[in-house]
Structure 1
Amino acid sequence: MQAELIALATSGATTLVTLMISDAWTQAKGRIAHMLGRDADEQDDFLQELEVSRVTLLHALESGDSAQVATIEAEWRSRLLRLLQSDPSLIEKLQSLPVAPAGTVYNNISGRVRSGLVIQAGRIEGSTFHTPPEESAGRTEA
């Protein structure tokens, strides 16, 4: 049973971290806090902890700190394992965590870009981008 709890805690932590950087986080965070907390105060505490983890995670991703990302996931894995061991009713709840869409990407654009086109999409098919024709230097038309 311990190996199954470890696997579930690992999967749950991975899902949690993935949700934190996805568009689904807004809807998922309240549900997760409600699932983990036994009463309103505990749920509020979890919600705050989740938000702190998310801000730290986003900062780590932005700065390329993969060790910090791994630390956040390990902390939630350990926390989830302790919760599962103390309250087996969480097993079903944790298995019902929403799954972030596959291919969730976190992008950060920075620098001195004054103008330009930025497109962020999961998949683009059959699109054509038109640019104005180049002006020929020294060319005259008759």
Structure 2
Amino acid sequence: MEAELVALASAGATALVQQMVGDGWERARTRIAAFFAARSGVTEEAVGADLDAAREELLRAERAGDEEAADEARTEARVEWRARMRRSLLADPRSADELRAILDELGTRPQPGTVVNNTLSGDVHGIAFQIGSVGRMTNHMSGDGGAEARRP
């Protein structure tokens, strides 16, 4: 159960950081602030201020045009909010359903059995890497020499 909660916290933090720089920020901010406030004894306004500060750091890094700094800011925000979510979920495992509902509402929760298709074509030389979390993977070779990887 703990591993599932940690995975949910990770997915939640990733989704939150994506929302921080996206169009749905206000709705995400409102829902996440309420989620934390209900469990921490801190007001929604205080949590919202923390969220806004993290968002401002991300936006400042992105506006600076330094991709390395922007990546670092995204990583720091994910780490911070993943830890907060993990602590909240471990303290109240029943809150996992609420976080899942928030992620579904925001359209950011990864769906089980997601299929990822990668196609290599043309004059490709060397080794191609796909980096990420892969459970079971099946490679399918097409007649034109392209490879397709699927996660069942």
- TM-score normalised per structure 1: 0.64
Local SS of the residue matching 1:37:
helix
- 1:99 maps to 2:104: no
> Which residue of structure 1 aligns with residue 88 of structure 2?
83
Equivalent in the alignment of 2:14? 14
Displacement over 3 Å in runs of 4+: none
User: Does 1:2 pair with 2:2?
Assistant: yes
How far apart are residue 28 of structure 1 and its match?
A: 2.1
Q: Which runs of 5+ in 1 are unaligned?
A: 101-142
Residues 61 and 69 in structure 1, CA contact (< 8 A), matched pair in contact too = no
Amino acid at match of 1:25: W
Per the alignment, residue 50 of structure 2 pairs with: 49
1:69-106 CA distance string (max 9 Å, x none)? 21111111111000101122320111012125xxxxxx
User: Of Structure 1 and Structure 2, which has the larger fraction of its residues in strand?
Assistant: 2
- Give how far 1:57 is off: 1.1
Q: Percent identity?
A: 33
Separation in structure 2 between the aligned mates of residue 12 and residue 87 of structure 1, nearest angstrom = 15
Q: Higher mean Cα deviation, 39-48 or 70-79?
A: 39-48
**1:41–1:7 distance in 2 versus 1, CA, 3 Å:** closer
Q: CA deviation at 1:31?
A: 1.7
- Shift of the 41–83 alpha-carbon distance from structure 1 to 2, 3 Å rule, reads closer
Larger Cα-atom Rg: 1
Point out where structure 2 has 5 or more consecutive residues left out of the alignment.
109-152
Residue 41 (structure 1) shift: 4.8
Q: CA RMSD in A?
A: 1.8
